[in-house]
Amino acid sequence: MAEEDVSLLTEDMKYSSGTLVPPEGLCGVSVLSCLLLACSYVGSLYVWRSDLPRDHPAVIKRRFTSVLIVSGLSPLFVWAWREFTGVRTVPSLLALMGIRFEGLIPAIVLPLLLTMVLFLGPLMQLAMDCPWSFMDGIRVAFDPWFWMLCFSDMRWLRNQVVAPLTEELVFRACMLPMLVPCTSPTTAIFTCPLFFGVAHFHHVIELLRFRQGTLSGIFLSAVFQFSYTAVFGAYTAFIFIRTGHLVGPVLCHSFCNYMGFPAISTAMEHPHRITVLSSYLLGVILFLFFLFPFTDPSFYGLPTPLPRNYDPIEGD
């Protein structure tokens, strides 16, 4: 493999049986940096003392301030890691974090379309149960007053804009460049979401604090949320590494926040159960079929910033 094909190298990295071997100590520094970044992100949510619940507009606004500051400073973690470890990067720091113009249009369209294919069942269910006609939906989508109302809603702004943007920036765009040289793209895809999943355990604190459920119920909810966010994190990490863009994971994150977890139990009791369940199955099949073609790096500008050729994630 030629040197120009590798986006992240250190002076001490060498090949052993065709595998790139990271220098001693790199993994420890990378994991510690990711852990510190995750703690900084979650900790920023609790710098404000308040007796109000997390969904109160005042709490949301204060948390916007702290989390945006941490997210804005998060590239410094990657820069400091790069300087400390001596890792040489071919692309710029911003390109390494998926902030680049090359292949931007496919990065906006294809990952989101792929995610919508996966949610074909819930989308079909939503369309069947929606009282609006298709044209009504189009008119609402292009109504500026509708979007003004959305952006004035703090919960909507948090779930659809701030959380997807800041979480993908911190947990994907900043962590993956630090983890990939230490492990491999494939291993990093399944390691990075662990930080993301654990970071969501802070919701347990608030559920216990405001006694929103039984102890066992809160624990089961936390386990489910960790599992769901870890799987989702692996998916967006996969998209980030394959496309080399941040915008795709952000849009997919926002879309999934809007859709929520598929209401399979409701689908089982739907009047048009066969149609809805068939849509669920078809969506999964089409998603698996298009997973690699829609994330083909050739659509997004080669080479992608992260070094996929450490441990190729290739489709057949």
- What length is written for the chain? 316
Residue written as token pair 């939906």: 137
- Output the CA torsion sign for 150, 42, 189, 14: positive
Residue 137, pLDDT above cutoff 70 = yes
- Catalytic annotation on 272? no
Catalytic residue among 11, 56, 83, 167: 167
CB 226 within 8 A of CB 197: yes
Q: How high is the pLDDT of residue 207? A: 62
Q: What predicted TM-score, i.e. pTM, was given to this entire model?
A: 0.84
Mean of pLDDT values over 227-231: 85
Residue written as token pair 């703090």: 154
Q: How high is the pLDDT of residue 27? A: 84
DSSP-assigned beta bridge partners for residue 21? 14
Q: How high is the pLDDT of residue 139? A: 87
- Catalytic annotation on 83? no
Separation CA 136–CA 184 (nearest Å): 48
Given pLDDT bands bounded at 50, 70 and 90, which one contains residue 1? very low
Catalytic residue among 3, 4, 102, 200: 200
Q: Which residue type is seen at 103?
A: G
Given pLDDT bands bounded at 50, 70 and 90, which one contains residue 130? confident
Mean of pLDDT values over 266-293: 94
Mean of pLDDT values over 131-136: 80
Q: How high is the pLDDT of residue 72? A: 94
pLDDT in tens, 73-108: 999 999 998 888 877 777 788 988 999 999 999 999
